[in-house]
Structure 1
Amino acid sequence: MFKILLSRLLQSILVLYLLFTITFFLTRAMPGNLLASERAMPEHIRAKVEAYYGLNKPLTTQYAMQLGNFVQGDPGYSYRLEGRPVIEVIQQALPVSFQLGITAMIVALSIGIPAGCIAAARKNSLIDTGSMMLAMLGICLPAFVIGPILAEYFGRKLGALPAYGWEAGTPNTWILPAITLGLAYAAYLSRLTRAGMLETLSQDFVRTARAKGVPGSQILIRHCLRGGLIPAVAYIGPAFAGIVSGSLVVETVFQVPGLGRQFIKAIETLDVPMILCVTMIYGTLVILANFVTDLAGAWLNPRLRKSA
């Protein structure tokens, strides 16, 4: 197991290094002026900024400087925000995206896994067909369609929930963004849970338990749930990383001040330090999510533990 963990660590470092390298050179290949702004910048100030960021040096020197700063935990200062530290912006936006992502994942888990279990237990019934049709509908409908509908109906028409805005200490402002973001993942989880449960229900030990007169609910919960959740657990890790990194539409619809909006603004203004920092955060989230998913899968599946 130690060798596997060490191998994963080395692979993660290599992946992050390649991600940084590719992102850096792609940003330098983008058209436009890195220091362009709406207000004119005096030439002597522009010269100092270029010297500070190494923009007047060869590209390989800029790359080495930026990589060294990142290794030391200093992504630099934002071009767009006129010298504001990137870390300061990230510290304000990332907790909002995490809070939204965790709430959306709770919505996805509380809807998707029970729906998949019930559909598997009632295979080929009206409940099974209806729940899978709703799941397919949730997969097909994008967030930019569901979000405005929920905001218009529950926010403007009924006035039950805020239609836009985000306050960390006010849970009712989380509900509509979290539901909008979590519904698609709930649909995927329900289909994966149903497939895993059906595969487990077809095993010989389930038929033996039924022959002994074990109640169906006990078979479903005590004997099948652990094995049936393996496909869903394998999806949860990347799904959480996708929720945190892919919440741009929801943040735009509901005016949530998260990391996704900062990322798009950085791309529009060629804010290279911000682009690099957010990209590395997203990459680290994906790596950590996959690692945690592998550990959870090994805990649920004894054969994986034996192979490890």
Structure 2
Amino acid sequence: MLRYLINRLIQGGIVMIVLFTLTFFLVKSLPGSPFKTEKAIPEHIQARMNAYYGLDQPLPVQFAKRASNILKGDFGSSLRLEGREVTEIISQAFPVSFQLGIVAITLAIGIGIPLGVIAAWKKNSLLDYSSMALAMIGICLPSFVIGPVLANRFGQEWQILPAMGWATLNPLYWILPAITLGLASAAYLSRLTRAGMLDTLSQDFVRTARAKGVSQKNILIRHCLRGGLSPAVAYIGPAFAGIISGSLVIESVFALPGLGTHFIKAIETGDEPVLTGIVLLFGVLIILANFATDILAYWLNPRLRS
């Protein structure tokens, strides 16, 4: 177990280095300048601003300085929002994105796993076919299509739920963004859960339990659930990654004060410090989520421990 933990830490460190390197050079390859505005800036002022932020130095020198500062915990200041530290921007906007991601993945797990278990239990029934058909629809519809439709119907036309804005303590504001983000993951989880449960239900120990007169309910819950959930659990980490990355777009659809607005604006203006900070933050979250799901998979499936 100790070797496994060390290997995962090393892999996580390599992933973060690659993320930082790719983000830095991709942002530098974007056209334009972060200081360009609607009004033309004189060349000498543009040159002084580039010199102040070190943008006039060769790319390898800029890369080395940025890497050194990040290792010290200094992510720098935003090039677009003068005087604002990257850590300040993230600390103010990240709680909204994180809360939305947690609500969405919880919703996906709460819908997808029970639906998959029931579909496997009622194999080849109308309930099985209908639930898998709904899951396929959820997979095929992208979140950036579902979001505007839900906001228009439930928010503007029917005025049942808020279509814009965010309230940390008011669950009504969470529903539409969370459904938009969690629907596709719930669909994948239901299909993976169904496949895992059907595979477990076909094992020899299940037939032995049935021959001994064990009820179908006990077989499903006590004997099959733990092993049947392994494929779904392995997917939860990548699902959380997809939800977090997808929230950056959905936040713009529902006008949420999360990291999405800063992320999109940073791309438009080439604000490398903000982009790097957000990408590395989500990288850490994804690595931790995958690590947690691996530990849970080890607990569910003893065969993986060898």
Q: TM-score, normalised by structure 1?
A: 0.94
Say whether the 8 Å CA contact 2:28–2:270 is kept in structure 1. Answer: no
Residue 297 of structure 1: how far off its partner (Å): 0.8
1:246 aligns with 2:246: yes
**How many Å separate the matches in 2 of 1:266 and 1:127?**
47
**How many Å separate the matches in 2 of 1:145 and 1:40?**
38
Residue 61 of structure 1: how far off its partner (Å): 1.2
**How many Å separate the matches in 2 of 1:42 and 1:170?**
48
**How many Å separate the matches in 1 of 2:86 and 2:276?**
10
1:143-202 C-alpha deviation (Å, 9 max, x unpaired): 222222222222233322112111112211111111111111100000000000000000
Q: TM-score, normalised by structure 2?
A: 0.95
Shifted more, 233-242 versus 252-261: the winner is: 252-261
**How many Å separate the matches in 1 of 2:222 and 2:81?**
55
Cα–Cα, structure 1 residues 43 and 83, in superposed 2: closer, same or farther, change >3 Å?
farther
The aligned counterpart of 2:118 is 118
Aligned length: 306
Shifted more, 260-269 versus 248-257: the winner is: 248-257
Say whether the 8 Å CA contact 1:54–1:61 is kept in structure 2. Answer: no
- The secondary structure found in structure 1 opposite 2:184 is helix
Shifted more, 48-57 versus 113-122: the winner is: 48-57
The aligned counterpart of 1:232 is 232
1:27 aligns with 2:40: no
The residue type equivalent to 1:96 in the other structure is V
The residue type equivalent to 2:265 in the other structure is K
The residue type equivalent to 2:81 in the other structure is L
The residue type equivalent to 1:68 in the other structure is S
- The secondary structure found in structure 1 opposite 2:101 is helix
**How many Å separate the matches in 1 of 2:88 and 2:256?**
18
The aligned counterpart of 1:286 is 286
The residue type equivalent to 1:196 in the other structure is G
Residue 40 of structure 1: how far off its partner (Å): 5.2
**How many Å separate the matches in 2 of 1:174 and 1:277?**
25
The aligned counterpart of 1:11 is 11
The residue type equivalent to 1:116 in the other structure is G
**How many Å separate the matches in 1 of 2:282 and 2:36?**
26
Say whether the 8 Å CA contact 1:79–1:271 is kept in structure 2. Answer: yes
> CA RMSD for the aligned pairs?
1.6
Mark the runs of 5 or more structure 2 residues left unpaired by the alignment.
none
Residue 265 of structure 1: how far off its partner (Å): 1.0
The residue type equivalent to 1:50 in the other structure is N
The residue type equivalent to 1:185 in the other structure is S
Say whether the 8 Å CA contact 1:193–1:231 is kept in structure 2. Answer: yes
Say whether the 8 Å CA contact 1:120–1:197 is kept in structure 2. Answer: yes
Shifted more, 189-198 versus 233-242: the winner is: 233-242
Shifted more, 183-192 versus 15-24: the winner is: 15-24
The aligned counterpart of 1:69 is 69
The aligned counterpart of 1:264 is 264
**How many Å separate the matches in 2 of 1:102 and 1:259?**
15
Mark the runs of 5 or more structure 1 residues left unpaired by the alignment.
none
- The secondary structure found in structure 2 opposite 1:60 is helix
The aligned counterpart of 2:131 is 131
Give aligned-pair identity as a percent. 64
**How many Å separate the matches in 2 of 1:267 and 1:159?**
33
